[in-house]
Amino acid sequence: MNKKIVFWITAIIIIAGSVYLFFVKRNSVNNNLTTVKFGMLPYGDHSQAIIAAKNGWFKEVGIDFQYELIKVEAVLPDLNNNRLDVSSCAPGIILSSYDNASNICMFSFADVFQGYAILAQPGGNYKNYQELLKSGLSDKDAIKVAVSQLKGKTFAYPSETAIKPFIDILLEKAGMTRSDFKSLVQDDAININAMRNHQADFQVGGVPSRITLQKEGYKEIVSSMDIVKAAMPSPDSKELSSVFNDGWAITKTYYDSHRETVLRLASVNFRINDFILQHPSQALAIHMPYLSQITGEKYTTEDGTVIYDHLDPFYNFAAQRSWFFNDKDPLYYKNLYGSIINSFKNQHIYKSKIPAVDDVIFADDVYKSLDSLKNTTEKKFLAIDKKPFLKESSENKAKLAEAHHQYSIYNYLDADKITADILK
């Protein structure tokens, strides 16, 4: 064989091999996987990590994701005892038990739980908060008019104390008392039938009853989130304590010692959120069968749509920015969790130290770190574009493609590392 032909065949094999190895090893992003033990909770807003697990997204950022189902009461002890590295969690779990959970923090948020809503008979010609806003009413007046529709009607709700503050706030804003309507106080399951049989005009209850009734076409009149939107953006606004974020929790020890893993985990969290928003049908096709499996109850696509659209709307990276940079937003983390801490303080929950928001919420630091890495990566992309010779080698082309991929999946840490490697 001609020596030149042999030379070029050998060169092509070497180049192809180096490109192949780069993509397999992903510039060490997924070389030597870091094991992360994760606690999944049996709820629609605490089990969405299954979407990333099934799609292999954790491995793409160098994580061997080992998940298991746990009970909510196991979250804090399993994290404190290092049986788990990470767990799905609601901040209220940590804040309400801070005396025994001072080493645990929330590092990334997924959704806003806004579970409570007054539902109405669909044929009653009732107006909801959003419709009243569009008609020109202010936030305050829209809440008042929406709730005033209960006057002289039958309102069904359970006796559980958790719902009482939601009802009390709405009545206060509408200038009403319980004497303005007929109360039907009974279990959620009975109240569902009361709505179906037209024994009640309005209803509020827990998550299962809301999923059932909204799926059947009962109309949402006013929700916890509507109250929040109409509230003053301040820790002193008691209305803000009616909603909260769900997300992922770790110990502060883990946070300090596994900083890069924390950033990569957060990137996967944001990828999940974005996938739910952009491809809800595909997300539900993975999520709902798993939720059915771990709860023992059948969750359909319609159930999942109620969860995603009404109970626990997920927020992607761009949508969460205001939570950490805009203190005029009611959902700004210090407003929201300052309100929740004040609520717990007024209930005399804390026996020793009253936590500050920054004692428990580390999601702001993680978000701002990723945002900074995003900006520096974009600058490095521009610098590479200004030096075309950097993109001439097959190895650098592969690296640049991988950097763009990691950037696209919110892994700004490794996108920044790879672009820095190209520029050195």
Supply 399's token pair.
Answer: 């690296």
List, in sequence order, every beta strand (DSSP E) within 228-335. Answer: 244-251
Q: Per-residue confidence at 26, pLDDT binned at 50, 70, 90? A: very low
How far apart are the C-alpha atoms of 59 and 30, rounded to whole Å? 6
Task: Dump pLDDT digits (tens) for 37-53.
Answer: 999 999 999 999 999 99
Identify the sign of the CA torsion 222, 275, 105, 205. Answer: positive
In eight-state DSSP terms, residue 355 is P
pLDDT > 90: percent of the chain: 85
Strands 219-223 and 117-120: antiparallel
Q: What is the mean pLDDT of residues 341-347?
A: 91
Q: Per-residue confidence at 110, pLDDT binned at 50, 70, 90? A: very high
pLDDT score recorded for residue 164: 85
pLDDT score recorded for residue 220: 96
Determine which of 9-18, 107-116, 150-159, 241-250 has the lowest per-residue pLDDT on average: 9-18
Helix axes 363-385, 317-325, angle to 10 degrees: 120
- Say if residue 12's pLDDT is above 50: no
Burial class (CB in 10 A: 0-12, 13-18, 19+), 220: middle
- Say if residue 232's pLDDT is above 80: yes
- Which of 29-33, 249-253, 389-393 has maximum average pLDDT? 249-253
| Radius of gyration of the chain, Cα coordinates, nearest whole angstrom | 25
* Three-state SS at 161: coil
Average pLDDT, the chain: 92
Q: Per-residue confidence at 30, pLDDT binned at 50, 70, 90? A: low
- Say if residue 336's pLDDT is above 90: yes
Contact 264, 417 (CB under 8 A): no
Task: Dump pLDDT digits (tens) for 132-144.
Answer: 999 999 999 999 9
Identify residue 347 by its one-letter amino acid code: Q
Q: Per-residue confidence at 159, pLDDT binned at 50, 70, 90? A: confident
Task: Dump pLDDT digits (tens) for 72-107.
Answer: 999 999 999 999 999 999 999 999 999 999 999 999
Whole-angstrom CA distances from 95 to 86, 99, 102, 261, 323 are 17, 9, 9, 24, 19
Nearest to 372 by CA among 263, 222, 278: 263
pTM over 0.85: yes
Q: Per-residue confidence at 115, pLDDT binned at 50, 70, 90? A: confident
Pairwise pLDDT comparison (417 vs 5), residue with the higher score? 417
- Say if residue 11's pLDDT is above 70: no
Determine which of 163-167, 260-264, 320-324 has the lowest per-residue pLDDT on average: 163-167
Q: What is the mean pLDDT of residues 7-33?
A: 49
Q: What is the mean pLDDT of residues 270-299?
A: 98
pLDDT score recorded for residue 229: 87
Q: Could you give the domains of the chain?
A: 3-28+369-423 (no CATH), 34-114+243-361 (3.40.190.10), 117-239 (3.40.190.10)
Burial class (CB in 10 A: 0-12, 13-18, 19+), 198: exposed
Residue entry with tokens 């659209």: 309
Contact 37, 83 (CB under 8 A): yes
Q: In what order do the strands lie in the sheet with 154-157?
A: 182-185, 154-157, 202-203, 117-120, 219-223
- Tell me the DSSP string of 102-125: TTEEEEEEEEEE---EEEE-TTS-
pLDDT score recorded for residue 72: 94
Determine which of 29-33, 58-62, 170-174, 380-384 has the lowest per-residue pLDDT on average: 29-33
Q: Per-residue confidence at 29, pLDDT binned at 50, 70, 90? A: low
